[in-house]
Structure 1
Amino acid sequence: MTRSVTAPHVGIWMYENGGGREIEQRLVHALAERGIQTSTGLNLRDARAKDGQISCNGVVMEQLDAFLSYNAGQQTQFQVYLYQALSQAIPTLNNYDAFALAEDKFRTSHLLNSQGICTADYRLCHKNDMDGLKQALRDFGGKLIYKPTDGWGGVGIVKIDSEQALDMLLPFLSRTDLRYFYVERFIDYDNTDYRIDVVDGKFVGCYGRKAPKDDWKTNITSGGSVFVREPDDEVVELALRAASTLGLEIAGVDLIYDREREEYVVLEVNTIPAFATPEQEALGINFNQAKIDAMVELIERTATQHNALHTHKVA
């Protein structure tokens, strides 16, 4: 008996805007130098599943040795559903369980808190528990943030700073199909945050974001701007612990400094943190190469291990 050996084969779906296409090319080139084949453009929107296989743009996904799904803005329920099914057959990056956990803001905060990692104080209330929601507002000093438990880019996040404002919002919320309300204490901070990028348990980069004038949200999609920022050891260690606790291979951890309690707080953990855009690189935010190197190491190890386990014997 001899062993039939083929090169590891990796599938990639990468965002294209903001320099994403160039990042994909650099990943593909670096992986090719290590003898790893790649198939790109594997948007699961175009996939079909039948007869025990998921096929996407001519590629049988289960025959891949790993799949990197790296596009936050175009994820739909259909794509995530297939992502979950695919993760039962091959390694996905991020692994689906960690991805699903980190995409849920309540479950993320709840787990991090249980492990002693500081997040914003939070409450999860049944949609009919108006008394509990109003009590949370009082307990949080008259200011809270309503957040959808899923979503990204600050979409749907609302600041509530009085019981009157809450009363005005409740009729709208009651008409939605929400099953519960997730709210957080509004944190007194300087309207800037840290975005810490983590790959494979290692710190690979950091930058800061600042909310626009007369606003408090630092998300770029909400008008925030980026700036060069160097983290201290405490910030990096907190981000590494958060990513590890959630089981993420790749993470972007957002932290702010709570001026009232004088401590850093993990505000959110992103599963598909963007690379620096060309415009941001021009400002001096230059972690892209370190992140690419770390991702190539992670992808190579993951795909090679899967390939070795599934190389079959032939006569």
Structure 2
Amino acid sequence: MKLAVVELIDVTTDQRNRELVQIRRICEELEIDYQEFPVNVLPVGDWFDPDTVCIVRGSVKNRKMWLDKITEMEYRGCTMINTRNCIEVCNDKYRTYLALNQVGLHQPNTVLVPSEYDNLIDHVIQEAGLQFPLVLKTLEGSYGVGVALMESPLGLNGVIQAMNTRVDWDGAILQEYIPHGGDIRAHVVDNEIFGSMFRTPPPGDFRTNIARGGQGIVCELTELEKEHCKLAANAVGARWCGVDFIPSDDRENISPKIIEVNCAAETGGLEAALVGKDDEESAPLLRKIIEHFMVEK
């Protein structure tokens, strides 16, 4: 068996670089034939075959050629973690919402932002029964970028008008704002929970992303939460993903609200919670994931 880390990224981050170093070391220790594959540089060669497990990392925005390389790997019989379809669903927040809605999962009330016209935006908000404050999210985005809390119609309309002037503007969603003291990210791998952490936002922010300064501590999930996380992963077709949710006040009996499914969830936050921030070599979550896919394929 061989392992390829397929990088769907233009610019690397410290977290991604650290993850690559950890994967490289784990593969050396386990004597796994390993390759890093930046899709923006290399062609898909004969090394990719039915004995290759491809773990796709990063997100892609309007890069059809990059996604076509994922499709080529699929045609060559590689085991994809995850497939092109899963990547495209998870990289579109409204498609994710629709997929989760199809299986009856609880989510914040969500609508597409129709256009820059104030009256249409106001109409959509009214029809959905939404009230300010609202969470505005670009359809594509990661690390908490493109997410903002809108306090008033005037502020919302101003932001949307500004966004519509951007060449790369693809649209956005509006979501019901649910006040919370934090959320939970669970790593789901082939219908198992491999780890989870409770994340709290930094002072003055509502976003809990570790990349935005959020803090994580290891936590356990209830059976109900595990069930809903597995349903979410299956709904988007992910073999490995991060499921983010806001826990209910009665976690044993009341369903959580799923807020996002990340098909290339970073491991750094949970690894730091497991072993400490100063330990950059130990990577128990990544090791467990790699060992799993090398056996289960």
Identity of aligned residues (%): 17
Change in CA separation of 1:74 and 1:103 when aligned onto 2, cut-off 3 Å: closer
SS in 1 for 2:142: coil
Change in CA separation of 1:198 and 1:132 when aligned onto 2, cut-off 3 Å: same
Counterpart selection for 1:71 from 45, 57, 65: 57
Please give the per-residue CA displacement for 1:264-285, whole angstroms capped at 9, x wherever unaligned: 111111111222466433349x
CA contact (8 A) 1:9 1:64 kept: no
Q: Does 1:186 align with 2:174?
A: no
Q: CA RMSD in A?
A: 3.0
Give the number of the structure with larger relative contact order, counting CA–CA contacts within 8 Å between residues 6 or more apart. 1
Q: Does 1:43 align with 2:43?
A: no
Displacement after TM superposition at 1:68 (Å): 2.2
SS in 2 for 1:169: helix
CA contact (8 A) 1:198 1:252 kept: yes
Change in CA separation of 1:181 and 1:252 when aligned onto 2, cut-off 3 Å: closer
Q: Which amino acid in 2 is paired with 1:11?
A: A
Q: Does 1:280 align with 2:284?
A: no
SS in 2 for 1:40: strand
Displacement after TM superposition at 1:194 (Å): 0.6
Q: Which residue of structure 2 aligns with residue 298 of structure 1?
A: 293
CA contact (8 A) 1:98 1:246 kept: yes
Any unmatched runs of 5+ in structure 2? 8-14
SS in 2 for 1:63: coil
Aligned length: 279
Q: Which amino acid in 1 is paired with 2:264?
A: I
SS in 2 for 1:176: coil
TM-score by length of 1: 0.77
Q: Which residue of structure 2 aligns with residue 307 of structure 1?
A: none
Q: Which residue of structure 2 aligns with residue 11 of structure 1?
A: 4
Equivalent positions of 1:107-256 (< 5 A) are 107-128=95-116, 130-138=118-126, 139-177=129-167, 178-190=169-181, 192-256=182-246
Change in CA separation of 1:294 and 1:169 when aligned onto 2, cut-off 3 Å: closer
Task: Report the Cα distance in structure 2 between the residues aligned to 1:123 and 1:75, rounded to whole angstroms.
Answer: 21
Task: Report the Cα distance in structure 2 between the residues aligned to 1:10 and 1:227, rounded to whole angstroms.
Answer: 30
Any unmatched runs of 5+ in structure 1? 1-7, 49-53, 303-315
Q: Which residue of structure 1 aligns with residue 10 of structure 2?
A: none
Q: Which residue of structure 1 aligns with residue 284 of structure 2?
A: 289
Q: Which residue of structure 1 aligns with residue 12 of structure 2?
A: none
SS in 2 for 1:47: coil
Task: Report the Cα distance in structure 1 between the residues aligned to 2:62 and 2:215, rounded to whole angstroms.
Answer: 27
Please give the per-residue CA displacement for 1:30-64, whole angstroms capped at 9, x wherever unaligned: 3x3xxxx523222222213xxxxx23xxxx34436
SS in 1 for 2:257: strand
Which has the higher Rg, Structure 1 or Structure 2? 1
TM-score by length of 2: 0.81
CA contact (8 A) 2:224 2:255 kept: no
Displacement after TM superposition at 1:179 (Å): 4.9
Task: Report the Cα distance in structure 1 between the residues aligned to 2:61 and 2:156, rounded to whole angstroms.
Answer: 31
Task: Report the Cα distance in structure 2 between the residues aligned to 1:288 and 1:255, rounded to whole angstroms.
Answer: 24
